[in-house]
Amino acid sequence: MEGEVCKSTIASNLAAIATLEKKRVLLVDLYTHGNSTHYLLSRSGKEFFS
């Protein structure tokens, strides 16, 4: 677990900020224990998947 803290959270937040700036983003998170999918699926599809 050491060294695995907050990487997915930071990546998700940077992707979210980029989409708000109308940039196209592809976020691939292969970490199986608490990846970014739960965060992105809890958001509006229109907001992030346009």
Better pLDDT: 18 or 50: 18
As a whole number of angstroms, the distance between CA 44 and CA 23 comes to: 16
Give backbone dihedrals phi and psi of 33, rounded to 5 degrees, phi first.
Answer: -105, 85
Asked whether residue 48 carries a pLDDT value surpassing 90, the answer given is no
Output the CA–CA distances (angstroms, integers) from residue 48 to 1, 26, 27, in the order listed: 29, 10, 11
Q: What is the pLDDT of residues 27-44, one digit of tens each?
A: 887 776 666 666 666 665
Output the CA–CA distances (angstroms, integers) from residue 7 to 1, 3, 44, 45, in the order listed: 12, 9, 22, 22
This prediction has a pTM of 0.58
Asked whether residue 46 carries a pLDDT value surpassing 50, the answer given is yes
**What's the distance, Cα to Cα, between the start and end of the chain in Å?**
34
Q: What is the pLDDT of residues 5-23, one digit of tens each?
A: 677 778 888 988 999 999 9
